[in-house]
Amino acid sequence: MSYYDDVHEAAAAIRARVAEVPRIAIVLGSGLGDFADSLDAAVTIRYGDLPHWPASAVIGHSGKLVVGTSRGTTIAALAGRVHLYEGHDAGRVSFAVRVLGLLGVKTLILTNAAGGVNTGFAQGALMVIDDHINLMGHNPLVGANDERFGVRFPDMTEVYSSRLRTIADRAGQAIGLTLPHGIYAALMGPSYETPAEIRYLRTIGADAVGMSTVPEAIVARQMKIDVLGISCITNMAAGVLPQPLDHGEVMATAARVRGQFIALLEGIIGQL
């Protein structure tokens, strides 16, 4: 079977299990998966129960697809993703987004836990991604192109929809949040960046840094899916504060902003 056939089979398996196919999907990053548990009339499918779906082994990624309703709208929430640093190739990393595209998803919200490069950011801030810098050394479109997914050379002028960014700002204001905007830099990982690398990222215009999201965003745009990106600044990047970085801090900060994060997503969905 081809890669397209694998994606099609996974999409068919989801379609057979849900009463209504979602048009909105959310990928939940490290420590942010609690939103999936807030959905009403939910159908939960473990990644391991879906054909060809890669399973994540990273702490903070529970590994399940939940289809349910929020504010009366049917959505798909992916609690966890896989990463290049786990040893997956770019096709596997972007597999879930390919499936969502074949299901008919038209709006994709990508969330992540990120390090704050911009020293003006506070730990726990929710940053709207305006654009990204791909420093992962990989692009999910490398290799033979299947036109059923999209064109060979998709435009990346506006990866993150200006319309969706405006909606996010309005949703934030409704709950008393002024959301900072910024540029997300994606690196391979899994080691955290060095202070010298963070100074370099700041110089080239990055405001936050992480190890995900960009491959998914590229694939989504190839498939004509509108994308909104939100980074939870769970820690300040290396060299900003006089302390070492630790994944436990990422998880603790994500837990602290859980209420704000869920309220923001619910507000965004309510306006879509």
Residue-level pLDDT at 245 = 56
Per-residue model confidence as pLDDT tens digits over 164-196: 999 999 999 999 999 999 999 999 999 999 999
| Domain encompassing residue 149 | 3-271
Residue-level pLDDT at 238 = 55
What CATH number should be reported for the domain holding residue 247?
Answer: 3.40.50.1580
Beta strands (DSSP E) in the chain are 24-28, 40-46, 64-70, 73-79, 107-116, 126-135, 181-187, 208-210, 226-236
Residue-level pLDDT at 242 = 54
What total number of domains does the chain contain? 1
Per-residue model confidence as pLDDT tens digits over 113-124: 899 999 999 888
CA distance 266 to 104: 21
pTM of the predicted model, to two decimals? 0.93
Catalytic amino acids? 30, 61, 83, 85-86, 113, 211-212, 235, 247
CA distance 150 to 192: 34
Residues 6+ apart with CB under 8 A from 164: 107, 109, 226, 227, 228, 268
Residue-level pLDDT at 156 = 98
Residue-level pLDDT at 247 = 64
Q: What is the DSSP letter of 186?
A: E
Residue-level pLDDT at 244 = 64
Residue ranges in the chain modelled with pLDDT below 50: 60, 239
